[in-house]
Amino acid sequence: MCAAANEAAKSKDCPAVKYRKKRWLEVFEACDENNKGYLNREDYKVAIVMLFGYKPSKVEVDSVMASVKQNPFGLSLEEFLNLMTTKKVVHFYHSEIRRLFMSFDRQCRGFLSFEDFKKAFSIVAPKLPERIIVEAFREVDQDSDGRISFNEFESAMKYGQENLSHLT
């Protein structure tokens, strides 16, 4: 990658960004039946399957179609490219959270014990007092079962990101 996810999404000189945009253009053209210049609901679903490997939910498609500004029948190429840029950044962020969780879950159990959590903190913040680690564990362990699931971890990461974003 050229830089952090949000910077890479903005960079026009990055080869990875150029490749992605070229790929998105190819998918748009392949899904734009009859060369009408936009993607309707069905076209959009096929494009998402081609690019991300999943069929979008009705809610996702409704949301995207409701956001269409230029053409009430579907997504223009410009809107599609903008949407894919945003979607790629979100997908990258989610993947990074999963990779971080998995690096802390050293025994591959699908959850973090307090010992896993403490070990992670000893690596990233070795001088942090244990009482702070205990408080953080309790805060992230939303259901108080003594384990941090991926969903709890992801929620904590997003909450932390949202609360730090006002500092930048």
User: Residue 55 gets which letter from DSSP?
Assistant: P
Distance of CA 44 to the CA centre of its chain: 19
Tell me which long-range contacts 146-152 makes (C-beta under 8 A, separation of at least 24): 146/113, 146/114, 147/111, 147/112, 147/113, 148/111, 148/112, 148/117, 149/110, 149/111, 150/98, 150/101, 150/110, 150/111
How does the average pLDDT of the chain come out, rounded?
A: 84
Q: Which residue has the tokens 């500092």?
A: 167
User: Residue 73 gets which letter from DSSP?
Assistant: T
Burial class (CB in 10 A: 0-12, 13-18, 19+), 5: middle
Residue pLDDT, tens place only, 50-98: 998 889 999 999 989 988 877 778 899 999 999 998 888 887 778 888 8
36: CB partners within 8 A, 6+ apart: 73, 74
Distance of CA 83 to the CA centre of its chain: 13
Residue pLDDT, tens place only, 103-152: 889 888 999 999 999 998 898 899 999 999 999 999 999 999 999 999 99
CA angle 51–53–54, rounded 5-degree value: 115
Which domains, from first to last, does the chain contain? 15-94 (1.10.238.10), 96-166 (1.10.238.10)
With bands split at pLDDT 50, 70 and 90, how would you rate the model's confidence at 13? low
Q: Which residue has the tokens 């009859």?
A: 34
Distance CA 5, CA 14 (A): 12
The whole-number average pLDDT for the span 11-37 is 85
Residue 92, Cβ neighbours under 10 Å: how many?
16
